[in-house]
Structure 1
């Protein structure tokens, strides 16, 4: 992929970009968290806004809606926020203002690809709260693709 062809997807517009991994269960969540613990990233876990230790078993976090939980994953200047909204879906988000060059976009694509490979799952990046409009998609055995849907919405070709 060529930066000039897709950089419009990361132009700041006041919204975030969401990353989704669908059709997961607690065992997939645990594999995801174990994988994240093993990568070179700064991890911060918050319960109701208070920094605390990430539990070894993620099941209690994923199934509980008692408190707002947030895991921030720092990847070379890019913060990926992991939300624990649903047990059957992993939802993360990034701020497009942090993706201002091809190198940073490649960090996001590398993260999506590595997570997808480890989980053997499709990983999509979408506009905020628009999971039905994937912009980029990682497919196991295929790799990452720019789906170009937003190029037309933004008025470019």
Structure 2
């Protein structure tokens, strides 16, 4: 049984309403948390690519990937936790793990189950919340996220789009 049901969250999965790439993040993170994510990706056997400035390269240590000059190329980790679903982690600052997931790949109850499972895996591993806001939305007002106290993904806002 999924943490959330399609009928209660479908508005938050509508690319036309919240954007195709909602903002998903782990606040109050560290370089160690980033390393935990890197290690988790490898341990789970998920397909991945590490890119620096769009060029594929071996996955470095998180501390190496995060220490770059302001004008350095963008570092990103692309992960496919399940076939057909791409998650893009962007290594901008150590203090926040930031990633995108395309809602067009997550429609229906199966999509909700995949997203809830992925957020829960990250949150459980880090023992931290994993939050989602509409694309470009206010990070102080997430719509759903993994709650480490409840150990599940919960709805954090009321669907107002109907």
Is the shorter-chain TM-score for this pair beyond 0.5, marking a shared fold? yes
Structure 1: which 5+ runs fail to align? none
TM-score under structure 2 length normalisation = 0.87
* Partner of residue 63, structure 1: 67
Spell out, residue by residue over 1:49-82, the C-alpha distance to the aligned partner (whole angstroms, 9 max, x if none): 1111111x11011122421111111122211100
Runs of 4+ in 1 over 3 A off after TM superposition: none
* Partner of residue 4, structure 1: 7
Q: 2: CA distance between counterparts of 1:28 and 1:75?
A: 18
Structure 2: which 5+ runs fail to align? none
* Partner of residue 55, structure 2: 50
Q: 1: CA distance between counterparts of 2:134 and 2:155?
A: 13
Structure 2 SS opposite 1:73: strand
Spell out, residue by residue over 1:107-154, the C-alpha distance to the aligned partner (whole angstroms, 9 max, x if none): 1111111111111101101112222221112111302101234x11x1
Number of aligned pairs? 152
> 1:98 Cα deviation (Å)?
0.8
RMSD over aligned CA atoms reads 1.4
Structure 2 SS opposite 1:20: strand
